[in-house]
Amino acid sequence: MIKMKGHFFLQIYQNKYGLFEVLLGQMMDRLFSIKNVQSTFKLVGNNATFYGITKKVKELNCTDLVVYTEHETQSVANQLVDFIRKSNQEIHIQTHLLEQEEIRGVRDQRTENSGEVETHIATYSNGFRCFITGLYPDSVRNQGIKHIFLNESTNMNQSILNSSFLANQHINSGIIRENNNQHSITGIVDIHIDSTEDKHKKNVTIQTDTYLVKKQTKVFKYSEYEGKKNVALMEPDLYEDQVVLTLSTKKDFDTFNKRVQESKELGFMSANEILLNIKDECMWGNATGCTYVEGVRAGFVSDETLFGSPICFTYTMQENSASGYKERKRRIQEEIVRRGCKTCVVKEECSKCITFRHDDFLHQNYCEIRRSNPFVSTYIVYKNIFKSFLYSNPICKNIKNIMDKRVLFTTPTQTWWSGYQAAENLYKKRNYLVFEFNEEIYVFNREAIKYYKLNKWLAAILELSLFMDSEDEIYCFMKKKTGINRGDYQHLLQSLFEKTRIQLPKAVVS
């Protein structure tokens, strides 16, 4: 077969998780025959923006383009074709709707199955949680706008439709509307949040061209949630966005700070606490976790709120990708100067969040917690490691089975497996996290992003390494506690590495 100069194709399909992917390749001699081009596929991926794909097509000096699409991908294909045509009016584009027999020939692992809808909706629900908490995985960061937010105060008009921000949408973008039923623009996923007669209950509708599902989310101020735990978790489905807690009063901040401090002192979190979604949890992390400057979330609102609580991710009609980035950088720098962040004792760990920039009183409360309780960033990290673990654990398929179960973990003031008396001044951060759930011990390897089961001896060694700097010190403590000899101890270290790929820090191993 002969490659046709200037002739290319795009195939748009939906993977098993419900995400759209784009395959790009040079056209062979037979137009519309998908079998003749599948060997030349070049994956653009599911993290591309409409602008990025259009730019790639232009770089290839494409004169003729065939766009292969399936029924469920037609809307995104139409949007992509529109962008390409606006960028290059001379390009000749043909769209070919694949028939079922053609699809079967190229789907590979993308065959339909009975769990497809559940898997897709779980993916979209997880995206919604990312939007609420502000905690996005690295795979979607710096990849354009992931979620566009419009609330009831948003006046949809032609200027939004024509604004350049649309070109910088992620190919798997979502439109999220709070009490706003206008349909001037649509995303790959449309999520509607509607109020009900119950002030705490929100109806959440997740809709695509192919799927529609309705869920319920309960929203409380953080300080309100105590005493309402039993009524908050009504649905047994783990994928439900069941409870969202907001922080917008001093009482909310005080309650949250107390819970973080208790977690540090006691060394455990309940499953109920772990599964809660705290609005804008990202503010309690460090600067590397902040997606504000990247523009992953874009809100076109006049009152700058979500669930009645302030938001940071507001855009204006005048912003584009470059000017928006510069404006967000300017706002952060302005706040850093105004608040005196450069001289703050926790400047290295703080996200320097600007969510409360219009409310000095709340900002003071935020800064006070960051300074007085530095464990808060660790709390958020641990909480989300445990949340991912619970989502993947079969026992957690029914929340009612685990509501009162606890996850135990080592803190600067609490140990569980070694019998060592914790000392905050000796505590060190490591690239692993040991914890116990349902009477079984696990370690999370942060570098590998994997969980492994451990016995108590290995858990004790890893726990001791959080407080001790030398192998001899750890061994002497273990020998006194258990009577273990040096040979067996070295064997334990070897099995630890073979099982989890975790090596004790060089300062610990002789």
Q: Looking at the predicted structure, is the pLDDT value of residue 420 above 50?
A: yes
- Cα(75)–Cα(452) distance, rounded to whole angstroms? 42
Structure tokens at 126: 């997880």
User: What are the start-end ranges of the E strands in 179-233?
Assistant: 189-195, 201-207, 212-221
**Percent of the chain scored above 70 by pLDDT?**
82
Pick from 35-49, 280-294, 494-508: least confident: 35-49
- Cα(66)–Cα(24) distance, rounded to whole angstroms? 10
**Nearest of 128, 132, 382 to residue 247 by alpha carbon:** 132
- Cα(245)–Cα(466) distance, rounded to whole angstroms? 32
pTM reported for the whole predicted model: 0.85
- Cα(451)–Cα(440) distance, rounded to whole angstroms? 12
**Percent of the chain scored above 90 by pLDDT?**
38
Strand 277-278 to 92-97 pairing: unpaired
Q: What is the pLDDT of residues 74-107, one digit of tens each?
A: 888 888 888 888 888 889 999 888 876 565 445 5
- State the pLDDT confidence band at 220, using cuts at 50, 70 and 90: very high
**Nearest of 66, 70, 68, 42 to residue 56 by alpha carbon:** 42
387, 229 Cβ separation under 8 angstroms: no
- Rg of the chain taking only CA atoms, in angstroms: 26
267, 414 Cβ separation under 8 angstroms: yes
Q: What is the pLDDT of residues 384-405, one digit of tens each?
A: 999 999 988 887 777 677 777 8
Q: What is the pLDDT of residues 423-470, one digit of tens each?
A: 999 999 899 999 999 999 999 999 999 999 999 999 999 999 999 988
